[in-house]
Amino acid sequence: MLVDALIPARAGSRRLPGKHLLPLGGRPLLDWTLQAAREAGVFRRITLSTDDPALHERGLKLGLNPFPLRPARLATDESRSADVLRHYLEWLPSAGLELPDWVMLLQPTSPFRGAERIREACELAGERGGDVVSLGPVGKPLEWCRELRDGRARIWDCPDPAPTWRLNGAIYLARVERFLADGCLLPAEPLALLMEEWESVDIDTPLDWLQAQGVASGRNPAPETA
């Protein structure tokens, strides 16, 4: 089972500018994901896909595999992760490298997804032969949700039984043969890897950043990556 890790980290973040290099727990946010990927010990290659020269330089300094800067067309608000993954897979043959069996997308905005979860995802894929996505708890009962109708809070007719899990953005493990055939990052019903609420923190906004700082302060500082 040949698995590559792809870390997608574009420069443009309107809600939290420069977030991938912001210091969390004493080190840049990017470093958390890189350390987890290395400690997992399951990847042939760990590659950073970015349009940001500063991030690119940081990745090379930390020993990531060389990879061209991402073209501008793949670094917009509308860019899809599937297109970023295809860009990576199309580059591999030009570099004289064979395609892997699987690629795992590891977003730097999920800093508390550890090496053990990465290994669990690979084990799950190997045992059951399917693509894997990580889920975190919703956090609040869906029965509390309301629909707004004419300024009134209408009771939401939620599914029964109500779902209790959500995509948390921490792990996407895609089988390359299937991805190249249908172009979707994941199939309609991938295998589920369940994670705790604190592991599922996904940093997109200043409020998310404050939450992540709270989680990081309660953990022993990890060693510096560089």
Residue 26 domain-assigned? yes
The domain in which residue 93 lies consists of 3-138+164-217
Measure the CA–CA gap between 112 and 199, rounded to whole angstroms. Answer: 5
Measure the CA–CA gap between 42 and 20, rounded to whole angstroms. Answer: 24
Q: What is the predicted pLDDT for the residue at 219?
A: 67
Q: What is the predicted pLDDT for the residue at 224?
A: 46
The closest of 157, 171, 160, 161 to 104, measured between CA atoms, is 171
Residue 158 domain-assigned? no
CATH code, domain carrying 25: 3.90.550.10
Residue 146 domain-assigned? no
pTM for the model stands at 0.90
Measured in degrees and rounded to the nearest 5, phi and psi for residue 193 equal -110, 110
Query: What is the number of other CB atoms lying within 10 angstroms of the CB of residue 91?
Result: 14
Spans of the chain, pLDDT less than 70: 159-161, 219-226
Residue 66 domain-assigned? yes
Residue 61 domain-assigned? yes
* 143-196 tens-digit pLDDT: 788 888 888 898 877 766 677 899 999 999 999 999 999 999 999 999 999 999
Residue 130 domain-assigned? yes
Residue 75 domain-assigned? yes
Residue 125 domain-assigned? yes
Handedness of CA 38, 53, 6, 108 (dihedral sign): positive
Domain count, the chain: 1
Residue 30 neighbours by CB under 8 Å, 6+ apart: 7, 9, 20, 21, 48, 55, 58, 59, 108
